[in-house]
Amino acid sequence: MMEPNKNAKQELRENILAVRRGMSPEEVAAGSVRLAEHLCSWPIYQAAKTIMLYLAMPDEPHLDKVISHALSAGKTICVPHMRETRGLMDAAIIANLDDLVVGQFNLLTPNPASLKLLDPSELDLIIVPGVAFDKDGRRLGMGAGYYDRFLLKANKAELIGAAWAAQILEKIPTDDHDRPVNYLITEDGIFTRR
């Protein structure tokens, strides 16, 4: 398969990010509540013992309510820890939201002083962020490859892509190494890829 045109990916990334960044804080908050309700009532989430969630950028679906719910249900929760080497990340275990500190790009991150890592092969479920997904579960990320590399090591985890409904497209350009997600979750519900 030919490598997709990098310009096409970048142009699509910019267009979809513009849509996402156009959402008001109220829209983000309301959509995040609906998405959390869908996820917390999903049988695969309920059965999972070890879950990795992302820490949202301001315009992404926020998962704080899901993290709190999962912790109160006794699940092991991990969030991404970006290594100093660009493109590499680990799964960092958190016991509560107070384990997070403000890091790079003014985003929350696991506290480096108390970092506890989990092997990716031990994860049951990963909620994967993306700039866009298509109906076949293919993902367009921010372009640095963090999740592409990480997901190769999380071989038993069920993958669900989280995004706003406006970020689910008919088809997106992908590379051979891209691992599709099996499910998609938006503020409108959970869908199995076609």
Domain boundary assignment for the chain: 6-192
Superfamily (CATH) of domain 6-192: NagB/RpiA/CoA transferase-like (3.40.50.10420)
In this prediction the pTM is 0.92
Name the residue with tokens 């997600």: 181
Instruction: Give the pLDDT mean for 55-76.
Output: 95
CA distance 93 to 95: 7
Q: pLDDT higher for 7 or 157?
A: 157
For the stretch 90-147, pLDDT in tens is 999 999 888 899 887 777 889 888 899 999 999 999 999 999 999 999 999 888 889 9
Name the residue with tokens 């912790």: 71
- Strands of the sheet containing 132-134, edge to edge, are 139-140, 132-134, 168-169
CA distance 32 to 163: 10
For the stretch 134-165, pLDDT in tens is 999 999 988 888 998 999 999 999 999 999 99
- Strands of the sheet containing 158-162, edge to edge, are 117-118, 89-94, 76-82, 50-52, 125-129, 158-162, 183-186, 189-192
Q: Which residues contact 37 (CB under 8 A, 6 or more apart)?
A: none
Q: pLDDT higher for 120 or 3?
A: 120
Are the C-beta atoms of residues 108 and 34 closer than 8 Å to each other? no
For the stretch 16-45, pLDDT in tens is 999 999 999 999 999 999 999 999 999 999
